[in-house]
Amino acid sequence: MALEFTDENIKEVINSGKPVVVDFWAEWCGPCRIVGPFIEELAEEYAGKVEIGKLNVDENVDTPNEYGIRNIPTILFFKDGKLADKQVGAAQKTVLKEKIDALL
């Protein structure tokens, strides 16, 4: 199951030492509903290796502002606490999987 990231916990997770994938989304976003199930599946597939979760941009405004998130869904990929890659807009699960594999 994908983690629920918030403005309060995101920094701790990003700096945990594990690769991190953050899906910036909102309830009203149609393309986010396409990506959401992929994020859930990937969270299960990479459990224990990669921290994968979602951050609701309507409930958490500081983190999207900090990373310049202008469109959703946007997925950020972190390695060693630093931004390593980004996916803006809906993408197939295989594309996301390739980006995650590059973090390992």
- C-alpha span between 21 and 83 (Å, rounded): 10
Active-site choice (32, 52, 76, 103): 32
Report the SS3 class of residue 28.
coil
Quote helix, strand, coil % in the chain, to nearest 5: 35, 25, 40
Active-site choice (10, 20, 29, 96): 29
Active site (annotated) includes residue 32: yes
For 83, how many CA atoms within 13 A lie in the half-sphere containing its CB?
10
Q: Which residues are catalytic?
A: 29, 32
